[in-house]
């Protein structure tokens, strides 16, 4: 177990490598939670101040970035691009809806920009729905209120469904980022093997009473242990931040534990085709980034063209993320036998390519 302990000791003693192995994946995977779009900035001026208009304001606030600005400052805020859209609900708006008298909300934006299109469309549709409710109620406020309660319940269910979908998408992205980060940190294992080869450490070790098979297994064992510790740490961090991990986070851990075999075997493959650490970095980047994009690590598979989806069948990340999606949707680990079997197959392929080339060592 000399090689096993020495590899772990080298990682522990090299603080830069230790930080890279533990902190880089955490920072990388949480890039998936960053929202690039700050949202449409909307101003709502409620001059009617009724139960209906207050509900409308609350509903719009739940979907857009509504900011408080005084009526007299709206035009200047639009000119300064501090807001994208301004809506005024005039006095008598609720009574007009109930009596089916035409009254529109007053809206202004900068040159009817496309940026404000989502909020314009949403508010227009909302008012049209309320207008139809008013006509159906025939001026009866109790009937109108009952219909409005049904609309609120339907809106709540849609919002909950959208929130759940967004949560699954976030979990998919963060776990995909974690998988890519694990592949990137496999560079450190390749660096260790390249360093051992260049310094003659591997040759001196093999000259001792230790076989190449034992050397490779100990190297894989130490690398695998590091991966398993990484996965456990990352999932605990994700749970701490409230990121959804399916019915059982242990199932996610088990799936990634199988994927760690791919990472370790990939590191052996990288070191076998590289002459130095620079080539490890170059080959790794050239392989991992396309693999991540085709394997739907950053976004759902539906976003990928059909032709690339066929190519993805030959990418291990694709099988991992397919398993992740099944677990996030409530499937059990026993239902993922095909995905885990394919991951083991990829691990064997990477290992065999790397191991066969490692037999040609200099004396």
Per-residue pLDDT tens digits for 117-144: 677 777 777 777 777 777 776 766 676 6
Cβ 255 vs Cβ 335: under 8 Å: no
> 192-230: string of b/e by CB count within 10 Å (b at 16+)?
bbbebbeeeebeebeeeeeeeebbbebbbbbbbebbeeb
Mark whether 110 and 130 lie in a shared domain: yes
Mark whether 29 and 102 lie in a shared domain: no
Domain end, chosen from 139, 174, 195, is at 139
Categorize the per-residue pLDDT at 162 as very low, low, confident or very high, splitting at 50, 70 and 90.
Answer: very low
Categorize the per-residue pLDDT at 54 as very low, low, confident or very high, splitting at 50, 70 and 90.
Answer: confident
pLDDT at position 64, please?
Answer: 75
User: Is residue 147 situated within a structural domain?
Assistant: no
pLDDT at position 37, please?
Answer: 42
Contacts with 182 (C-beta within 8 Å, 6 or more apart), sequence order = 25, 227, 230, 231, 256, 259, 260, 263
Domain end, chosen from 100, 124, 139, is at 139
DSSP H or E run through 89: strand 85-89
Structure tokens at 195: 């360093």
User: Is residue 155 situated within a structural domain?
Assistant: no
Structure tokens at 82: 């501090």
User: Is residue 225 situated within a structural domain?
Assistant: yes
User: Is residue 204 situated within a structural domain?
Assistant: yes
- Per residue in 250-305, pLDDT (tens digit) is 999 999 999 999 988 888 888 888 777 778 778 878 888 888 888 888 777 776 77
- Per residue in 72-115, pLDDT (tens digit) is 888 888 777 777 778 888 888 777 777 766 556 676 666 555 56
Mark whether 30 and 45 lie in a shared domain: no
Residue whose tokens read 């929202």: 35
User: Is residue 150 situated within a structural domain?
Assistant: no
Domain end, chosen from 139, 157, 192, is at 139
Mark whether 81 and 19 lie in a shared domain: no
pLDDT at position 342, please?
Answer: 95
When divided into structural domains, the chain yields a total of 2
pLDDT at position 249, please?
Answer: 87
Mark whether 49 and 18 lie in a shared domain: no
Domain that holds residue 245: 2-34+165-358
Categorize the per-residue pLDDT at 195 as very low, low, confident or very high, splitting at 50, 70 and 90.
Answer: low
pLDDT at position 252, please?
Answer: 92
Structure tokens at 186: 């496999």
CATH assignment at residue 100: 3.40.1710.10
User: Is residue 151 situated within a structural domain?
Assistant: no
Give me the sign of the Cα torsion angle 133, 137, 142, 146.
Answer: negative
Alpha-carbon distances of 347 from 120, 259, 288, 290, 315, rounded to whole Å: 52, 8, 15, 18, 11
Mark whether 186 and 259 lie in a shared domain: yes
pLDDT at position 115, please?
Answer: 61
Residue with the larger pLDDT of the pair 171 and 35:
171
Mark whether 192 and 214 lie in a shared domain: yes
Mark whether 129 and 202 lie in a shared domain: no
Mark whether 120 and 209 lie in a shared domain: no
Cα 79 from Cα 85, distance rounded (Å): 11
Could you give the percent of the chain with pLDDT greater than 70? 67
Mark whether 313 and 296 lie in a shared domain: yes
User: Is residue 318 situated within a structural domain?
Assistant: yes
Cα 217 from Cα 1, distance rounded (Å): 10
Mark whether 322 and 234 lie in a shared domain: yes
Q: What angle do helix axes 212-240 and 2-13 make, rounded to 10 degrees?
A: 40
Mark whether 186 and 105 lie in a shared domain: no
User: Is residue 148 situated within a structural domain?
Assistant: no
Cα 277 from Cα 270, distance rounded (Å): 10
């Amino acid at each position: 177990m000399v090689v096993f302990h020495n590899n772990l000791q080298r990682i522990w003693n090299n603080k830069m490598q230790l930080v890279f192995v533990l902190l880089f994946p955490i920072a990388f995977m949480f890039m998936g939670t960053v929202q690039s779009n700050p949202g449409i900035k909307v101003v709502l001026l409620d001059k009617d101040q009724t139960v209906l208009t207050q509900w409308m304001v609350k509903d719009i606030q739940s979907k857009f970035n509504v900011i408080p600005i005084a009526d007299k400052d709206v035009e200047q805020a639009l000119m300064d691009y501090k807001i994208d859209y301004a809506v005024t609900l005039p006095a008598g708006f609720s009574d007009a809806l109930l009596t089916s008298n035409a009254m529109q909300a007053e809206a202004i934006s900068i040159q009817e920009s496309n940026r404000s299109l989502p909020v314009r469309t949403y508010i227009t549709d909302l008012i049209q729905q309320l207008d139809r409710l008013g006509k159906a109620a025939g001026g009866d406020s109790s009937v109108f209120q009952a219909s409005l309660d049904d609309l609120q319940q339907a809106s709540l269910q849609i919002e909950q469904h959208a929130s759940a979908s967004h949560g699954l998408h976030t979990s998919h992205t963060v776990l995909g980022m974690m998988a890519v980060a694990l592949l990137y940190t496999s560079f450190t294992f390749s660096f260790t093997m390249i360093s051992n080869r260049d310094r003659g450490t591997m040759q001196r070790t093999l000259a001792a009473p230790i076989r190449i098979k034992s050397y490779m297994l100990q190297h894989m064992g130490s690398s695998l242990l590091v991966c398993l510790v990484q996965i456990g740490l990352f999932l605990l961090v994700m749970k701490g931040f409230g990121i959804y991990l399916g019915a059982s986070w242990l199932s996610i851990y088990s799936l990634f534990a199988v994927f760690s075999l791919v990472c370790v075997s990939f590191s052996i493959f990288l070191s076998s085709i590289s002459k130095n650490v620079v080539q490890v970095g170059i080959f790794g980047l050239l392989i991992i980034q396309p693999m991540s994009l085709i394997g739907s690590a950053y976004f759902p598979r539906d976003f990928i063209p059909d032709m690339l989806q066929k190519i993805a069948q030959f990418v291990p990340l694709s099988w991992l993320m397919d398993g992740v999606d099944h677990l996030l949707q409530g499937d059990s680990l026993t239902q993922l036998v095909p995905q885990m079997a394919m991951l083991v197959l990829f691990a064997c392929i990477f290992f065999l390519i790397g191991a066969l080339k490692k037999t040609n060592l200099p004396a």
